[in-house]
């Protein structure tokens, strides 16, 4: 913000309620509900879901591999390296299906 004084002002009068020329409040509430950002699903949440439902653990690299194969958005990891020390391991088809189930549960896909 600047410490300068404004050159001009715009005054807007809005009337809420029912009737001609008024904005209905219930439609505003509905728009707010529709535009509410969804909770960010973490790998830890996916791991916990899989462990609780299927009683085994999956590595975060497997989750990333499945997300990559589905073309889902990936975030840059702060600890990412340019070259991998080891070749990427691919998850088994069973684990791929379990991870896809978890992604569907969290409405990622």
Residue 61 lies in a domain: yes
- pLDDT, tens digit, for every residue of 60-73? 999 999 999 999 98
Residue 67 lies in a domain: yes
pTM: 0.64
Residue for token pair 């989750």 = 63
Beta bridge mates, 66? none
Token pair belonging to 79: 């600890």
Token pair belonging to 48: 């916990």
List, for the chain, all residue ranges whose pLDDT scores fall below the cut of 50.
Answer: none
Beta bridge mates, 16? 23
The pLDDT, as a whole number, for residue 20 is 82
Residue 9 lies in a domain: no
Residue 4 lies in a domain: no
- Which residue, 31, 64, 26, is CA-closest to 47? 64
Q: Indicate the number of domains in the chain.
A: 1
Structural domain including 52 reads 43-105
Q: How far is CA 28 from CA 3, 19, 32, 85, in A?
A: 33, 15, 6, 53
Residue 75 lies in a domain: yes
Residue 28 lies in a domain: no
Spatial neighbors of 109 by CB under 8 A, at least 6 apart, are 70, 72, 100, 103
Residue 25 lies in a domain: no
The pLDDT, as a whole number, for residue 2 is 62
């Amino acid at each position: 913000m600047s410490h300068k004084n404004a050159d001009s002002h715009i005054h807007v009068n809005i009337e809420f309620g029912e009737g001609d020329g008024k904005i209905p409040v219930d439609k505003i509430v509905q728009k707010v509900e529709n535009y509410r950002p969804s909770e960010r699903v973490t790998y830890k949440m996916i791991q916990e879901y899989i462990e609780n439902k299927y009683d085994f653990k999956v590595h975060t690299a497997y989750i990333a591999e499945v997300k990559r194969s589905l073309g889902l958005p990936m975030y840059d990891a702060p600890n990412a390296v340019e070259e991998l020390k080891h070749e990427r391991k691919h998850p088994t088809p069973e684990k791929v299906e379990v991870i896809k189930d978890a992604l569907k549960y969290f409405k990622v896909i």
